[in-house]
Chain A
């Protein structure tokens, strides 16, 4: 594989070079005191944080709001964030034209609830930090499917010998990489982060467990609001379309007698499970956002991987892959017919 051996300074130099062009922006992380936040940079890289093992909101959720064909933006984010961006491009929520996406090898991130002081900003230190602080890791990261910077236009990867490498995946990636004045060479070594093992057993649960875990749900729908893939401007569940209402509800009570009003917890979560089943990237934003600490990612990641597997689809892998529910093959899925 052809790539460039780089280091932090060279990468920073290239990013600064990118910002010198008028109307070009960089979307990445920045430090503010002890915290790390997503930040849009215009003309300097002040406080730029490159490899911290932390993110709160999935960057795609924020970037969804930036919608322009004309402004050129370089995004340097984690693989799960870039994968969300790729899915949102397919869903016409992000214009692909002006953006260049750069994914970094991600050793995992700390959970919002964990200690966040003194986070390192060097990729290799971050890796060690996450090994030491595994208890505080975001749950989604402990079962991450794709930690490698292999998605988007360009990837920043950690070699086993602690050298940093950049690999282009598209023409856009090549164009950006050309601004780093280092000769291209063949990468022969090994990577620090290998391919993740797939779970041998597909995710399985039952309705009893699901309902009891959801009994804490207060239907704040924060999980949906923080989900990068839940892009609908007016969610089905903003209304009460799916719950008995009006005459139907009144009838029910008048004839059946005193009863709890239907709340629709399972319905909300199961329909959402289905809606994001092909596009979920397993970033864990839903679980981080849940005030009740319901282990949502277990379900969303588990179901979506099972359902994506049926169509050999992986969300965010390639912008050219069609979301499986929008296409078909005439001769397939014979087992599904009863």
Chain B
């Protein structure tokens, strides 16, 4: 993993098929750019994201993980993302207790919001990069 460290943070994202994954497709179609360290896994609904996946990704070397779904109230599966919000909010609290603030993010991105998708993931990438660069100096 060491030789890879200089390439920038690695982010694994979980994106629901009906909203965020669609937005990421549209971002591609519109040739928007974002860092290559961001890689997306498609899940049917954000509620499919088992917190264990997030923990696994972090422990296997991801610098950050995001879970993204439809805006609350717009879930294709009616209420799935409300459950996602509870679970991921709790997991974020757990990460906070482990001083891993900022390594897990929860985004709502609708299928129409390609720009928002790119903005969210790029901001996360930059934050993690700054944090790591600051850590290196110390």
Residue numbers of A with Cβ under 8 A of B are 202-207, 210, 236, 242, 264, 266-267, 270-271, 273-274, 277-278, 302-303, 306-307, 310-311, 324-325, 327-330, 332-333, 335-338
Contacts and interface: CB of A to CB of B under 8 A. Distances in A.
B59 A266 contact: yes
A172 to B, nearest CB: 32
A207 B52 contact: no
30 contacts: A202-B97, A204-B99, A206-B98, A206-B99, A206-B100, A236-B52, A242-B56, A267-B59, A274-B51, A274-B55, A277-B90, A277-B94, A306-B97, A307-B90, A307-B94, A311-B86, A324-B90, A325-B86, A328-B79, A328-B82, A328-B85, A330-B72, A330-B82, A332-B85, A333-B86, A336-B88, A338-B66, A338-B105, A338-B120, A338-B124
A29 B124 CA distance: 55
B107 interface: yes
A270 B59 contact: yes
B56 A306 contact: no
B90 A267 contact: no
B25 interface: no
A204 B99 CA distance: 7
Contacts of A330: 72-73, 82
Given A306-B94, A337-B85, 4 more contacts: A264-B59, A271-B55, A274-B91, A336-B106
B76 interface: no
Interface residues of B, number: 32
Interface in B78-135: 79, 82-83, 85-94, 96-100, 105-108, 120, 124
A332 B106 CA distance: 14
Contacts of A325: 83, 86-87, 90
Contacts of B124: 338
Given A325-B83, A333-B86, A274 B52 contact: yes
A267 B86 contact: no
Contacts of A205: 97-99
A248 to B, nearest CB: 11
Contacts of A310: 89-90, 93
Nearest to A264: B59
Given A310-B89, A328-B82, A333-B86, A270 B55 contact: yes
Nearest to A270: B55
B66, B83, B96, B97 — most chain A CB neighbours (10 Å): B97
Nearest to B105: A338
B116 to A, nearest CB: 12
Contacts of A303: 94, 97
Contacts of A274: 51-52, 55, 90-91, 94
A273 B51 CA distance: 11
Contacts of A204: 96-97, 99
- Give the 7 A-B CB pairs with smallest separation, nearest first: A336-B89, A328-B82, A206-B99, A338-B105, A271-B52, A333-B89, A307-B90
Nearest to B104: A338
A329 B106 CA distance: 17
Contacts of B96: 204
Contacts of B99: 204-207
A338 B86 CA distance: 14
Contacts of A302: 97
A188 B79 CA distance: 48
